[in-house]
C-alpha cells in the first residue's frame, strides 16, 4: 500500500526542526499584515513561492479558526480573532521591556516609556517612572496621535514619506501645544532630522515644559520605540548628548532580547 512521503506533506518538518505547515501559515499571516488589507491567493502564491493548492488548504484552515476571513469579493483579510492575540502580546511586550526601561531610569534619571504603533495611533505599553519628585507620567494604555510625540517621530521615520502623508491625512494634525508641528511638510522635515541624527525629540510639542527623547527598537516584531521624558530644564541639550547613546544601546539590547526566542538551556 503506497504511503505519502513526510517531506511532501504539510505536516513535514522544516529544515529548522519545526512543523512546516505552521511555519507556512504564520508566514502567510505576516505577508497579509504587510499587505495592509485584502489579498488574493494568487498574490500570496507569488510573494511566498508556495503553490496555490497549498495556500488554499492553509487559508481554509485559518478561516475555520477565525484568524483569516474571506471577503465577499473572494479575497482574504486578517480575522478578528487575531485582535485578542495581539492585545495579549502587546501586554507581554511591555512586561518584557520593563527591566530595560528600569535601566534607562537608573542611567538617565528620567521616566522611561515603551510605545507601539497601533494602526494610526501611538499606544504606550510600559513605563518605569523617574525617582525625581518632579517627573513625567504617561498612563499605560494611553493613545495619542504620532505627530506630536517623540516616539511617534521615531517610529514613523522608518516609513516612506508617502505612507506618512497618508497617515497624517487620516488623523489630522491638531495642535497639543503652540510648539506642535501641524503641517505634513514640517513633520516630514522633522523625520529627516530623526533619520540623520538617529533619535527623535519632542520639544514641548505634546506638553509645555516637557522634553522627550526617543529611538525605535530595531528589528522589533512590531513597530516599537522607547523614550525618556522629563522637565525641559533637566532634559537639556547637554543632557541629550549623554542620554541618547544610552537610549540607543538599550534599544539594541531590547531588540536582541525580543529576537531570542530559543528556550532557556
φ, ψ dihedrals at 206, nearest 5°? -100, -35
Per-residue pLDDT tens over the stretch 42-98: 888 888 888 888 888 998 888 888 888 888 888 888 877 776 666 666 666 777 889
* Strand, coil or helix: 161: helix
- Residue matched to cell numbers 509645555: 208
Write the CATH number of the domain with boundaries 83-259: 3.30.450.40
pTM (2 d.p.): 0.70
Enumerate helices (H) and strands (E) in the chain, giving the number of each: 8, 8
Per-residue pLDDT tens over the stretch 151-193: 999 999 999 999 999 999 999 999 999 999 999 999 999 999 9
Cell of 171: 488623523
For domain 16-79, the CATH architecture is Orthogonal Bundle (1.10)
Domain spans of the chain, in order of start: 16-79, 83-259
Residue 219 has pLDDT above 80, yes or no: yes
Short-list 79, 56, 96, 77, CA closest to 222: 96
Contact 179, 147 (CB under 8 A): no
Per-residue pLDDT tens over the stretch 120-137: 999 998 999 988 766 666
Q: How far, in Å, CA of 129 to CA of 85, rounded?
A: 28
Cell of 114: 515603551
Amino acid at each position: 500500500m503506497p504511503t505519502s512521503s513526510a517531506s511532501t506533506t504539510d505536516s513535514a518538518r522544516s529544515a529548522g526542526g519545526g512543523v512546516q505547515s505552521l511555519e507556512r501559515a504564520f508566514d502567510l499571516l505576516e505577508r497579509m499584515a504587510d499587505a495592509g488589507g485584502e489579498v488574493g491567493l494568487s498574490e500570496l502564491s507569488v510573494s511566498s513561492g508556495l503553490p496555490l493548492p497549498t495556500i488554499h488548504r492553509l487559508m481554509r484552515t485559518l478561516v475555520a479558526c477565525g484568524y483569516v476571513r474571506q471577503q465577499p469579493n473572494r479575497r482574504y483579510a486578517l480575522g478578528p480573532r487575531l485582535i485578542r492575540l495581539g492585545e495579549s502580546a502587546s501586554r507581554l511586550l511591555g512586561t518584557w521591556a520593563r527591566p530595560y526601561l528600569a535601566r534607562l531610569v537608573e542611567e538617565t534619571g528620567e521616566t522611561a516609556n515603551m510605545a507601539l504603533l497601533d494602526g494610526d495611533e501611538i499606544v504606550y505599553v510600559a513605563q518605569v517612572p523617574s525617582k525625581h519628585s518632579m517627573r513625567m507620567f504617561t498612563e499605560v494604555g494611553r493613545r495619542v496621535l504620532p505627530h506630536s510625540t517623540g516616539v511617534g517621530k521615531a517610529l514613523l521615520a522608518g516609513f516612506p514619506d508617502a505612507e506618512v502623508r497618508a497617515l497624517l491625512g487620516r488623523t489630522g494634525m491638531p495642535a497639543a501645544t503652540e510648539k506642535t508641528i501641524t503641517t505634513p511638510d514640517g513633520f516630514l522635515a522633522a523625520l529627516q532630522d530623526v533619520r540623520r541624527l538617529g533619535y527623535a525629540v519632542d520639544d514641548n510639542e505634546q506638553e509645555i515644559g516637557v522634553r522627550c527623547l526617543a529611538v525605535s527598537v530595531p528589528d522589533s516584531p512590531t513597530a516599537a520605540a522607547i523614550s525618556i521624558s522629563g522637565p525641559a530644564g533637566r532634559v537639556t541639550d547637554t543632557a541629550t548628548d549623554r542620554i541618547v547613546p544610552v537610549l540607543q544601546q538599550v534599544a539594541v539590547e531590547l531588540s536582541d532580547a525580543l529576537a531570542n526566542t530559543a528556550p532557556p538551556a
